[in-house]
Structure 1
Amino acid sequence: MPGRSKAPTLRLRRFATRLRELREAAGFSPMEVADLTGLDRATLFRIEGAKVRPQARSLRTLLDAYRASDEDRAELTALLKAAAEETWIQTAASLPSQYATYIGFESEAEGVRNYEILAIPGLLQTESYARAMIRGTVPDVSRDEVESRVAARLERQRLLARPTPLKLWAVIDESALLREVGGRQVMHDQMIKLREAAEEPNVTLQVIPRSAGAYPGMHGAFVLLEFPGEGHDVVYMEGSGSDLFLESKEDIARYSMLFEHLRAVAAGPDATRTLLAVAQQNWKEGRHGP
């Protein structure tokens, strides 16, 4: 069973990165900082690794040692304060740590670009589809864990309805519309939810039809999380053994370009609505084969 722990939020990771950058700009090694400030070196590594939040007094000591500017002090203090704010996901102890980390990032994102091959994106799943998907793909978890994950998935969807809603651009391979998950009625209801989501102003939905043949991206699904500011976007890929987070500029650029290719291959939003309507009718009538 994967380990559980509170996930570092994006704010804490930004804080840790900025603090490390200030140390490096001051020309200090971690050992030199430990000698200069009396702060335990292991503690400093944990702070810079976004494993722990420093006390306000420790932060002032470090900023004094780095001769940080008033602007840098204000930025780091604000980030530390924001990182201390507990969100719902940090209290969900039953969720695997990597999944909790992803949800924490997602809750702070302003935009999500999601490409899926075999499944409906989690932000657009019905409760019944989510439950059937989790039971089918993670067969070794308990019933309580299944329900915990379903609840988390439904809670995530609230991001699409918050005052400043999350912007979602989802590209889905048509095979996800044809794969029977949970039964015909579940799939029929899922198509209705997709059609409703496609009408929302903050949601763009495209389906790649089977007629597209082979195309870039067929090797695996991914999510590109977009955050305010520059240089903080994250690519997330879920794996059977472990999840992968990519944050380098090169990776972000590569997956951004890949998503552009996927958008070009996919049917446009209007044609996608037609595909969804056909899929809904086919599931209703039992005509969902190839």
Structure 2
Amino acid sequence: MIDRETEHVNQHRSPTIRRRRLGVELRRHREAAGVTIDVVAERLGCSTSKVSRIETGHNSASPADVSNILDIYGVDASIKSELVQIAREARQKGWWHPYSTVLTGAYVGLETAARSIRAYEQQLVPGLLQSEEYAIALLRGARLDDAEQELKQRVRVRMERQALLIQDDPIDLRVVLDEAVLSRPVGGDEVMRGQLIKLIEVARLPNVTLQILPFTVGAHAAMDGTFVILEFEEEGDADVVFIDNATGGLFLEKSEELRKYISIFDTVRGAALTADASLELIEMLVEEPLWKSKRRVSD
């Protein structure tokens, strides 16, 4: 049974997370009723893949479909009313809907619903911490096929996402940045210095912990690459690992996968500089940037 009172006080409302929650509940009731996906698809007159995608949260379901599905399972009226309402909420548009043409996957919706984020990044400053100038320079360098309007939309949604850090009930953010992130002058000297100053400002927020993993650590637990762990408030909302890539990214939801990445993150955090030492390093780099080191390889 879902605690509706808790649902109403949750600040991180997101149709994406409601779609996931609805899918979990529908699957639970189907299994409790001993009904197969094939039977549900036949009764609804749809494909088994549609039913499966509803249960995994990849597809939304109309209130009418949810009502019909629950009739098959024989659930009582109060549970049916509750889940039909969640189906209505799951079909509402998120704040990011106007930018859907430049977004891939469900990441922003899940990020909006999360209570905490743990991230390791080895190439670039994460979107939640980027300055606008850095974001523009980064996207221009990485997305060569984007038109100017698409680029502007990507930057706009990236800046709006940062409201999660300063809203009334801000998200808890813990980030480990590889020192390489601070060494690459995205956008040139002025833009990168501005980005470092932005990192200093954000790192001082009480809900943000920023640590730098120095080169001197050598090989470490996260050598395989960047990842984000999204954790949710409600017990029924499964935490998820997100691995970004050029085609939209990969979500890992199995408990053993989650445990593995939590272990990796905790290990990397333990190897990184403390938050205070990391802040001191960034402040020093504003004055003496790594990309201006005389030891660097010449052009």
1:256 is aligned to 2:256? no
Whether the 8 Å CA contact 1:236–1:244 is kept in 2: the answer is yes
Does the C-alpha gap of structure 1 residues 265 and 70 become closer, same or farther in structure 2, counting only changes over 3 Å?
farther
Render the CA deviation track for 1:217-275: whole Å, top value 9, x for unaligned: 02200011111133611111112345111011011111011100011010001101111
**Matches of 1:198 and 1:17, distance apart in 2:** 36
Aligned match of 2:252 in 246, 250, 268? 246
Candidates 223, 229, 234, aligned match of 1:224: 229
Question: Could you tell me how far 1:80 is from its partner in structure 2?
Answer: 1.7
Q: 1:134 aligns with which of 123, 134, 139?
A: 139
Check the 8 A contact 2:124/2:181 in 1, yes or no. yes
Moved more, 9-18 or 62-71: 62-71
| Higher mean C-alpha displacement, 254-263 vs 52-61 | 52-61
Separation (CA, whole Å) in 2 of partners of 1:168 and 1:248: 22
Q: Do the aligned residues in 1 keep the contact of 2:15 with 2:91 (CA within 8 Å)?
A: no
2:76 maps to 1:108: no
Counterpart amino acid of residue 114 in structure 2: A
1:91 corresponds to 2:98: yes
CA displacement at 1:74 relative to structure 2 = 5.1
Q: Is the 8 A contact 1:180 1:187 kept in 2?
A: yes
Mapped to 1, the partners of 2:247 and 2:127 lie a distance apart of 19
Whole-Å separation in 2 of the counterparts to 1:86 and 1:70: 27
2 CA distance for matches of 1:277 and 1:289? 20
Sequence identity of aligned pairs in percent? Answer: 37
Matching residue within 56, 66, 83 for 1:59: 66
Matching residue of 2:19? 12
Q: TM-score, normalised to structure 1's length? A: 0.88
For residues 154-192 of structure 1, give each alpha carbon's deviation from its aligned partner in whole angstroms, at most 9, with x where no partner exists. 011111111101111010011110111001011111111
Partner of residue 281 from structure 1, selected from 263, 271, 287? 287
Correspondence 1:48 to 2:48: no
Does the aligned pair in 2 maintain the 1:110–1:228 contact within 8 Å?
yes
Cα deviation for residue 121 of structure 1 reads: 1.2
Write the distance in 1 (CA, Å) between the matches of 2:273 and 2:264.
Answer: 16
Letter in 2 for 1:171: V
What is the identity, as a one-letter code, of the residue corresponding to 1:123? L
| Aligned residue-pair number | 280
Q: Distance in 2 between matches of 1:288 and 1:131?
A: 28
Q: Which runs of 5+ in 2 are unaligned?
A: 1-13
Question: Which amino acid in structure 1 is aligned with residue 142 of structure 2?
Answer: T
From the superposition, tell whether residues 210 and 46 of structure 1 become closer, same or farther in structure 2 (CA, over 3 Å).
Answer: closer
SS in 2 for 1:93: helix
**Alignment partner, residue 4 of structure 2:** none
What is the CA–CA distance in structure 1 between the aligned matches of 2:252 and 2:216, rounded to whole Å? 31
Q: CA deviation at 1:41?
A: 2.7
Distance in 2, matches of 1:288 and 1:195, equals 25
For 2:95 and 2:204, locate their aligned partners in 1 and report how far apart those are by CA, in whole Å.
28
Structure 1's consecutive aligned runs of 4 or more residues displaced over 6 angstroms after TM superposition are none
Contiguous gaps of at least 5 residues in structure 1? 1-6
